[in-house]
Amino acid sequence: MPTVVLADGARSFLPEALALIRQAGFTVIAAEAAGDPLTILKNADAILTMWMPMCAEHIAQLAHCALIVRVGIGVDTVDVEAARRHGIPVSNVPDYCIDEVADHAFAMALALARQLPALDRGMRAGAWEPRYWQPIPSYAAQTFATLGFGRIAQGVLTRARASRFRLAAYDPYQPDEIFAEYGVRRLDLEELFAEADILSLHVPLTAGTQHIVSAARLAQMKPSAVLVNTARGPLVDTQALADALQHRRLGAAGLDVFEEEPLPPEHPLLRCEQALFSPHQAWYSEDSTRTLYWRAAEEVIRALRGEPLQYCVNC
């Protein structure tokens, strides 16, 4: 009987999705409950992984794996090219939590643009008079921009349009027609960092995008600008970001993802009063959780039945 191995996250995996796999005639094993997880993984017929890195060394040891599913959107934790060399398909779940992440990014942006964290802290400290860290312009006077213009970024800017922001984006892979369809001004990378009043990040983590928000890029931004990251932590040099916030070279930052997760308690970002944090939860809703696990389970079943895959990223 083919074996599906949960590399991690077994306790949070939707029981109904696991039942679906078992009902299809396959065994499900949690690697983290085994004495030697790597031995279990080596003999897997399919692997479901949430956070565990699947590096080239691990992939080379897989004896007869028919599929690795990254239970999420990003596949940066899986060496996709190594899997391709060994003839192992890699899939993700690219079409869940689109609205949730767009909502979360937009909510962070609005809260910081209106300086709600400062007002909240002031009232809790007994102050009735507002304590703003900088002047607050109207939304209509600000440019809301996204780095990337895929589905989530499009959702964010659709929400921003309803609040009367000026809209802009950078994405070298999207045609002009998409920008025109959404009524979004196309910027190059230099313009993006220089003109954005709010900059929301929506690109995958690659060698080319790691630390794309660097000290040099932060220096290009307006000292009043708001940076929002709900994509991948290493897109931002967080030490440089903390320095920019502490020295008032950047207005504010909203972060759901971090270079190191969880964020260490001594990290300088935690001392920045203009920062708003959430613990990598932008993806979450009851609906998105069900969709994520169910679609990952269905992809495993397709692979083990020899059916065409729906979400393969290296086929």
| 280: annotated active-site residue | yes
Query: What angle, 0 to 180 degrees and rounded to 10, lies between the N-to-C axes of helices 116-124 and 98-113?
Result: 60
C-alpha distances out from residue 299 to 7, 74, 83, 216, 303, Å: 16, 16, 17, 42, 6
Give CA angle at 288 (283, 293), nearest 5°.
Answer: 105
The Cα 200–Cα 210 span in angstroms is: 15
Order of strands, sheet of 275-277, starting from the edge strand that comes earlier in the sequence: 185-186, 166-170, 143-147, 198-201, 226-229, 252-255, 275-277
The catalytic position among 81, 190, 261, 273 is 261
The catalytic position among 151, 161, 211, 280 is 280
Residue whose pair of structure tokens reads 């950047």 in the numeric block: 250
In the chain, alpha helices (H): 15-23, 37-42, 56-60, 80-85, 98-113, 116-124, 151-162, 176-182, 189-195, 215-220, 238-246, 286-304
| 64: annotated active-site residue | no
| 211: annotated active-site residue | no
The catalytic position among 70, 217, 232, 302 is 232
Residue type, 7: A
Is the CB of residue 113 less than 8 Å from the CB of residue 277? Answer: no
Active-site amino acid positions: 232, 261, 280
